[in-house]
Structure 1
Amino acid sequence: MPSLTDGTATLTPARVRLALLALALGGFAIGATEFVAMGLLPNLAADLLPGLYAYSPDVANAQVGWIISAYALGVVVGAPTIAAAAARWPRKQLLLVLLACFTLATIASALLPTFGLVLVARFVAALPHGAYFGIASLVAAELMGPGKRARGVAIVLSGLTIANVIGVPSITWLGQLAGWRVAYIAVAALFAVTFVAVIVAVPFQAGDAGATMRNELRAFGRLQVWFALMIGAVGFGGLFAVYTYVAPLVIEITGLPAFAVPLVLIVVGLGMTVGNFAGGVFADRSVRRSMYAFFAVMLAALLLLAFSAQHLAGLLAGVFLVGASAAALSPTIQTRLMDVAHDSQSIAAALNHSALNLGNSLGAFLGGVVIAGGLGYLAPIWVGFGLSVVGLGLAVITFGIDRSRRRRGRPVPYGTALITVVDAH
């Protein structure tokens, strides 16, 4: 068990809790910066593309949507690159550098005058996203101690899920009242507060002295790493096929007024918050059983939503369970990645967020395809169901490979180390 110390002083339980709270606060700020643009697209379009917005608001909104895509692309690019390059850095110092980058890039997003410059700023602001969650998850796992890695990951991710309940609606409301630039200044302030909190509360943790970029990148040569990434990218796409089009689902299918959409999004966020903590607890007991169980819950939730979204109770129950099961899969998949990456722990912890952002893009894209094809606003739910089936199938394959290796007496992943199981026969 790693010693919970900061210099020569042993950490008290209160200090550990404060450190975990500081790390989760960073997740809260990231959740705000990632999702607040979705509620402020018309405001961004009217300010950054005024001529196009006056001619066609729909076209302007669609073009400003590139800001969301630019952020997702930044996550995909930055997560493995930064994690691999900086694996030897002391973890607290690396977190501070990442938070400083978040703060400055978010301020730039608020102040830059043109659409093109804001687009670049959002890409740059996303680069630290995956690396922050990856390194913060490693720090939290060490603070939590043996047998509680997934719960440590879940605590860091809790900031992201709580942001969907409190932060995103609040900052969206602020942006609607005072302007989208003020909203991003508020997000930058969250990052600045997190920077101070990490300085004060998070103990020193050395980086991996033996890590090199070459060693970290070896993770990409492992088949099981690719399976874990595909499970995240495809399986998690089931959530975003629904989440992206929840507004027309609420208005057109359930028949609720537009002001009900934020309330439904809060229900999704509550589900994600509950599911995130449940995923952390159950993944510490068994990653395999947890992954199977949460995929089963997601499939059942999508069926419930597909057949009962016309009714308020069915809508709320469906979106809550979809959010909960998807969020529970996140720490489960991240723990699996850390298991199968062997000694490439920094990049493994960060890659999960690249995979999930690919799932974001995939689910949103395929959901848009079926809507554009005239299949209606229930069709993205069936897209999500299909993606989740594929994700579950990939999980069955990857754990089947583990069983095959056990029968042959070859090493299988367990925790952050390897064990060899020899066939008793």
Structure 2
Amino acid sequence: MSTRPRLPLTIYLLGATIFSLVTAEFMVAGMMPALAEAFSVSLGEVGNLIAYYALGMALGGPPVTVLLLSRGIGSKQALVGLLAVYVIGGALAAAAPSYAVLAVARVIMGVSSAACIGLCMTLCAAMVTREERGRAASVVLAGLMFSPVAGVPLTAWIEQHHGWRASSWAVVALALACTLLVTLRVPASQAGGEPKLGQQWATLRNPKLWSAYLTSGLIIGATFAAFSYCTPILIDEVGLKPSQVAPILALYGVANLIGNMVVGRFADSHTFTALGLGLALLVLALCGFALAGDLTWLNLGCFIAIGLTGVALNPAMVARVMKAAEPGALVNTLHTSVITAGLALGSWAGGAAIEAGWGLRAPLWVGAGLALLGLLSVIRPLAARRLQGTCA
């Protein structure tokens, strides 16, 4: 009986690197009151610190990647350099004397983070065979899944016991450790080894690639339209006590990890099937959550089901992009930016639905609508593959 080859240990290192990047992105959510008090600003202004980071990711990542490619810098060298910039930005944030300095530092971190994630995926693809890219991507992206489960709660615990600056310095230390390990352990990439910039620009003219991007944006948008408002929904609509929310969020994170690993096993050989079934489950879970009423078991069951799909479809999303185009740094970084834009769109649309007076569960219907659009975006290519008799 044949066994699947073991993945290189450096794949797990890249996953740890993404873990440090994503933890820094969302750690603000766990220490909002402390930051508001420290800088004498409102909670809304503190929440904008997450938006500044996301804005840097969405708008800054691709131009930085283009600049690096135009200089012929190899993927590893670019990753190490950008991680160094990220560490400097993190240190600036940890030592920030004012809110304005902290906001600027978060933008710097977001710009470098987007490019770093894209480069991590490029290096991941180069270290394994085409047949193993989806499985390897699921390991690297597990860092993203594990961040809400362990990273954000841990930074919140540090903040509660030692202050928000200690929490920020801890993330800087983790990012610095990852930078040093990437420098020492990731195989060297030669300058010019990356496809030429003109070739990567040409790749972006591929309609299949943009179709894959669209599906990814809709999946993440649907997920975060709901997840961004899950705490008030669980407390005010479902009736949970505030102390019960954290364990439920932990279960949601565990579901993310399980879904990510399951999807990772099938992402390469059954990419469109995994996306189609995952999106169908996401639509059902969001609609079920919206209609669950006072049934606690149904509310919680649907919430955990959202965790099993949604963000957990990342390996299939990445596999589809890698099948549509050679996974160069620009392709992967732009994919990261599209995902970030989807996150921002979903969160904004969910909030807008609440502000319009449609109730706290309105974001769930927004998410269901985006997920349905995502499902429609994969039905046609899935049906075409079925008709051709190929394995989707």
Q: Which residue of 2 aligns with 1:419?
A: none
In structure 2, the CA distance between the partners of 1:374 and 1:84, relative to structure 1 (3 Å rule), is same
Does residue 273 of the first structure (1) align with residue 257 of the second (2)? Answer: yes
Contact 1:237/1:363 (8 A) holds in 2? yes
Residues in 2 aligned to 1:398 and 1:176: alpha-carbon distance in whole angstroms: 49
Q: Which residue of 2 aligns with 1:387?
A: 370
User: Of residues 337, 346, 349 in structure 2, which corresponds to 1:366?
Assistant: 349
User: Of residues 10, 24, 27 in structure 1, which corresponds to 2:15?
Assistant: 24
Residues in 1 aligned to 2:368 and 2:110: alpha-carbon distance in whole angstroms: 29
Cα RMSD for the two superposed structures: 2.5
- Spell out, residue by residue over 1:7-46, the C-alpha distance to the aligned partner (whole angstroms, 9 max, x if none): xxxxxx88x6431221111011012101111122222222
Q: Which residue of 2 aligns with 1:198?
A: 182
Residues in 2 aligned to 1:294 and 1:401: alpha-carbon distance in whole angstroms: 19
Contact 1:234/1:391 (8 A) holds in 2? yes
Q: Which residue of 2 aligns with 1:150?
A: 134
Does residue 78 of the first structure (1) align with residue 69 of the second (2)? Answer: no
Bigger Cα displacement from structure 2, 130-139 vs 35-44: 130-139
Shift of 1:224: 2.2
Residues in 1 aligned to 2:144 and 2:294: alpha-carbon distance in whole angstroms: 29
Shift of 1:65: 1.6
Matches within 5 A, 1:391-406: 391-397=374-380
User: Of residues 330, 339, 357 in structure 1, which corresponds to 2:323?
Assistant: 339
In structure 2, the CA distance between the partners of 1:44 and 1:210, relative to structure 1 (3 Å rule), is closer
Residues in 1 aligned to 2:181 and 2:293: alpha-carbon distance in whole angstroms: 42
List 4+ stretches of structure 1 deviating above 6 A: 400-404
Matches within 5 A, 1:131-142: 131-142=115-126
- Spell out, residue by residue over 1:49-98, the C-alpha distance to the aligned partner (whole angstroms, 9 max, x if none): x2xx5xxxxxx111222111111111112332233333443332222112
Does residue 253 of the first structure (1) align with residue 244 of the second (2)? Answer: no
**Kindly, what percent of the aligned residue pairs are identical?**
27
Residues in 2 aligned to 1:295 and 1:159: alpha-carbon distance in whole angstroms: 22
Q: Which residue of 2 aligns with 1:184?
A: 168
Bigger Cα displacement from structure 2, 67-76 vs 204-213: 204-213
Matches within 5 A, 1:226-241: 226-241=210-225
Shift of 1:319: 2.1
Bigger Cα displacement from structure 2, 393-402 vs 247-256: 393-402
Contact 2:82/2:116 (8 A) holds in 1? yes
Instruction: Compare CA radii of gyration and give the structure with the larger one.
Output: 1
In structure 2, the CA distance between the partners of 1:257 and 1:184, relative to structure 1 (3 Å rule), is same
- Which structure's relative contact order is higher, taking Cα pairs within 8 Å and 6+ residues apart? 2
Contact 2:224/2:346 (8 A) holds in 1? yes
Count of paired positions? 386
User: Of residues 251, 262, 273 in structure 2, which corresponds to 1:289?
Assistant: 273
Bigger Cα displacement from structure 2, 30-39 vs 138-147: 138-147
- Spell out, residue by residue over 1:298-343, the C-alpha distance to the aligned partner (whole angstroms, 9 max, x if none): 112212322336444333322222122112321212222222234x
Shift of 1:142: 3.1
- Spell out, residue by residue over 1:175-221, the C-alpha distance to the aligned partner (whole angstroms, 9 max, x if none): 13322222111111110111122233222233553633333233332
Residues in 2 aligned to 1:78 and 1:27: alpha-carbon distance in whole angstroms: 17
Contact 1:219/1:341 (8 A) holds in 2? yes
Q: Which amino acid aligns with 2:68?
A: A
Q: Which residue of 2 aligns with 1:8?
A: none
Residues in 2 aligned to 1:340 and 1:124: alpha-carbon distance in whole angstroms: 31
Q: Which amino acid aligns with 1:70?
A: Y
Residues in 2 aligned to 1:247 and 1:122: alpha-carbon distance in whole angstroms: 24
Contact 2:279/2:371 (8 A) holds in 1? yes
User: Of residues 360, 364, 367 in structure 2, which corresponds to 1:377?
Assistant: 360
Residues in 1 aligned to 2:245 and 2:365: alpha-carbon distance in whole angstroms: 21
SS of residue paired to 1:375: coil
In structure 2, the CA distance between the partners of 1:214 and 1:202, relative to structure 1 (3 Å rule), is same
Contact 1:161/1:269 (8 A) holds in 2? yes
Q: Which residue of 2 aligns with 1:38?
A: 29
TM-score (norm 1): 0.84
Shift of 1:400: 6.5
- Spell out, residue by residue over 1:91-118, the C-alpha distance to the aligned partner (whole angstroms, 9 max, x if none): 3222211221221111111112121221
In structure 2, the CA distance between the partners of 1:338 and 1:86, relative to structure 1 (3 Å rule), is farther
Contact 2:75/2:329 (8 A) holds in 1? no
User: Of residues 353, 369, 390 in structure 1, which corresponds to 2:336?
Assistant: 353
In structure 2, the CA distance between the partners of 1:317 and 1:211, relative to structure 1 (3 Å rule), is same
Q: Which residue of 1 aligns with 2:198?
A: 214
Shift of 1:371: 1.1
Residues in 1 aligned to 2:253 and 2:244: alpha-carbon distance in whole angstroms: 14
TM-score (norm 2): 0.91
Matches within 5 A, 1:104-183: 104-183=88-167
Contact 2:263/2:316 (8 A) holds in 1? yes
Q: Which amino acid aligns with 1:20?
A: I
